[in-house]
Amino acid sequence: MKEIRRKGICYGGDYNPEQWPQEVWADDIRLMKMAGVNFVSVAIFSWALLQPSEDEFEFSWLDKIMDMMGEAGIGVDLATPTAAQPAWLSRTYPEILPVSKEGMRYSYGSRQCYCPNSTDWKRAASRIARKVVERYKDHPALVMWHTNNEYTCHVQECYCDNCAAAFRLWLEKRYGSVEGVNRVWGTKFWSQYYYDWMDILPPRKTTAQPNPAHVLDYRRFMNDSVLDLYLMEKKIIEDISPQVEVMTNFMMTWKDLDLFQWAEHVDVVTWNSYPDPDPSYDPSWTAIDHDIMRSLKGGKPFLLMEQAPSQVNWRRVNRAKAPGMMKLYSYQALAHGADGLMFFQWRQSRRGSEKFHSACVTHTGDEHSRVFREVVDLGSDLKMLEDLKDASYPSETAIVLDYENWWALEYENNQSSEVDYLENLRYFYKHFYERHIPVDFVHPLRSDLSRYKMIVVPFLYMLSREAGNRFRDYVKAGGRLVVGCGSGIVDEEEAVFEEGYPGALSGTLGLSVEEFDPLYPGQRVCLSFEGKEGKPDGEGDLWQDRIHTREAETVAWFSEGMMKGAPALTCNKLGKGEAWYMGIRPDKETLARILEGICRDSGIEALMDAPPSLEITCRENEKGRWYFLMNFSEENVCLSLKDKNYINPLTGRPAGAQIGLAPLEGAILLDVQ
């Protein structure tokens, strides 16, 4: 059983003191105290300084920092520094360096540049990780272990010979024999048949389309290879320091790791969020990321491990966050389930590739900058919000997210390059976001589906029979399942369902799909809710399916084009529930018409009656219901609080009968009843 050493709402950031002379460190602590910092991440990229050569270690500077943090009462999220190996290591063992799909071996000189199947790298990483853990396991400042950093951030896949050998072993474990691989990949086509394990390579750059099942398996294999690196470090940590939480920080929106799988191995989900300050950026894209992160461990609060106090340095144009914006995005993280807000980084670098990335202490180096004042201001809010810790996020609606489906769906030669899984997740999510209806994300196999009144399934192109059975049981027990077009085409082997589309969902939906037709960008097709010949009163885009209903009833029909007169929207009553199928992606208004009806019938309600431009969420715990109201729009918004007697937790005083929010302003209301 692990001890949770994190106190209150975690607040702080990545602290990289090795960039500074020691005189600066004391000033850092003074400024951290001023800002209410209680938690810092240390040593994330410090491997080269901690290990000058193969048999030499140098911990004195880190000892000093740990002691200073301990004395200051600031907890440390201590990293195993494996995210960037020293140059001497890459030079001694050049096979550590990863190889691209085109066969180019990367050179060192940046960071996160290693092959996940390099035994030399693994040996060296285990060694430094063990040294760090053994040295600091009993240090009073230690709060949490942080392994590596943002796995796959810079290299998603390696195609070297070591990976090829490891891939063959992975395939052998999965399929038993070369013949098993041949069967699943369908290699009798295009003369791809393999007779020997050594014939099988990573899907390196080749002439035309690579085999899709091969590509998908390689993605799975890479995910597993990188997960093994995390598990290798986690084991070292748990053998030596079993009571301290272990995690690694995730990225979103990032499809390279199956985060539902990974989340089972971290003690707390943490992630790094970098919304673009540009006005064209939609804040619901960050809201969805938070909701995904919270959902990975079934609704447990997460930590926002990094955000930029102001601008980043890696976009084409790196705008500063306008005054108030950092605080509003910080509220948004809390609003969706964060129990901690951390920054990258504490003090802005003067040299190196991130010198123009913002930091809490800016290049002025003092407490007088606008950015620092905003950091202090947020810190003082967090002191008043300590009771929010551990509050849950009550959702009755969920959206399915399946990373393997994402990989399969976006194979380079599928039916439409216009089908972007993330864009579709965001599209369906936005409907609920604008209506103030809380949403979780679920995995078809790993999540508890029974908690939800409604589950929306966008573009589940690939699904297993087991997932199909789970969805059927969910509906029979009273759930409302809303499946989007293009679903149920292939099984988990990437083979088209023998019984036709939508395969394992067909019985639940009470229909079959004969053919599909992806639409051109911008192309729209009209629908009618009035009948086969009815006048058009809806529209959709992206994709259309030719549906044949069996048990399902038709709710709307295509009223033009090649599907004219065929069902476009169907509903199948099964057991105590309903299974809907949308044979097209409905436009915003049509989607609203469909989902509002289903919400009404399921008793799913909005948190508040408020304009769509306001983002509203709610968390709850024994202290009450914490409502977050966030105005990301450019207009003032005024809201009547009706007969509720909310408390403003930042002042402890009643919130009043109405609330006005200026652009980029947020508010928190506590309902203690």
Residues that bind ligand GAL (CB under 6 A): 149-150, 153, 272, 274, 306, 308, 312, 344, 354, 357
CB of 320 to ligand GAL, least distance (A): 14
CB of 451 to ligand GAL, least distance (A): 32
Q: Are 148 and 229 in contact (CB under 8 A)?
A: yes
CB of 305 to ligand GAL, least distance (A): 8
Q: Are 111 and 41 in contact (CB under 8 A)?
A: no
- 3-state per-residue secondary structure call for 265-281: CCCCCEEECCCCCCCCC
DSSP 8-state code for residue 199: G
CB of 350 to ligand GAL, least distance (A): 16
CB of 239 to ligand GAL, least distance (A): 27
**Nearer residue to ligand GAL within complex by CB, 148 or 590:** 148
CB of 406 to ligand GAL, least distance (A): 20
CB of 8 to ligand GAL, least distance (A): 24
Q: Are 41 and 75 in contact (CB under 8 A)?
A: no
Q: Are 221 and 167 in contact (CB under 8 A)?
A: yes
Which residues have C-beta within 8 Å of that of residue 39, sequence separation ≥ 6? 6, 10, 11, 12, 74, 75, 76, 77, 143, 340, 342
Residue with tokens 């380079």: 412
Q: How far is CA 493 from CA 200, 470, 496, in A?
A: 18, 18, 9
**Nearer residue to ligand GAL within complex by CB, 354 or 473:** 354
**Nearer residue to ligand GAL within complex by CB, 145 or 529:** 145
- Nearest Cα to 407, choosing from 221, 202, 582? 221
- Nearest Cα to 236, choosing from 48, 112, 80? 80
**How many angstroms separate the CA atoms of 75 and 141, rounded?**
5
**Nearer residue to ligand GAL within complex by CB, 313 or 380:** 313
**Nearer residue to ligand GAL within complex by CB, 182 or 318:** 318
- 3-state per-residue secondary structure call for 78-125: EEECCCCCCHHHHHHCHHHCCECCCCCECCCCCCCCCCCCCHHHHHHH
Burial class of 514 by CB neighbour count within 10 A (0 to 12, 13 to 18, 19+) = exposed
**Nearer residue to ligand GAL within complex by CB, 340 or 486:** 340
Which structure tokens are listed for 172? 């052998």
**Nearer residue to ligand GAL within complex by CB, 153 or 232:** 153
**How many angstroms separate the CA atoms of 277 and 329, rounded?**
10
Which structure tokens are listed for 407? 């990989």
Q: Which residues pair with 548 in a beta bridge?
A: 512
**How many angstroms separate the CA atoms of 164 and 60, rounded?**
41
Which residues have C-beta within 8 Å of that of residue 226, sequence separation ≥ 6? 116, 151, 152, 257
CA 344 to chain centre: 18
**Nearer residue to ligand GAL within complex by CB, 274 or 452:** 274
Residue 58 a catalytic site member: no
CB of 564 to ligand GAL, least distance (A): 49
Q: Which residues pair with 617 in a beta bridge?
A: 628
Which structure tokens are listed for 534? 């009815």
Strands 567-574 and 454-457, sheet pairing: unpaired
**Nearer residue to ligand GAL within complex by CB, 356 or 520:** 356
- Nearest Cα to 35, choosing from 12, 7, 68, 69? 12
Largest CA distance in the chain: 80
**Nearer residue to ligand GAL within complex by CB, 258 or 306:** 306
Q: Residue with the closest Cβ to ligand GAL?
A: 344
First-residue to last-residue Cα distance in the chain: 34
**Nearer residue to ligand GAL within complex by CB, 111 or 174:** 111
Q: Are 513 and 499 in contact (CB under 8 A)?
A: no
**Nearer residue to ligand GAL within complex by CB, 308 or 437:** 308
Residue 615 a catalytic site member: no
Q: Are 172 and 275 in contact (CB under 8 A)?
A: no
Which residues have C-beta within 8 Å of that of residue 630, sequence separation ≥ 6? 283, 328, 331, 332, 335, 614, 615, 616, 661, 666
CB of 111 to ligand GAL, least distance (A): 8
Of the candidates 306, 374, 404, 494, the residue annotated as catalytic is 306
Which residues have C-beta within 8 Å of that of residue 74, sequence separation ≥ 6? 12, 29, 32, 37, 38, 39, 40, 141
Of the candidates 150, 245, 434, 539, the residue annotated as catalytic is 150
Annotated active-site positions, please? 150, 306
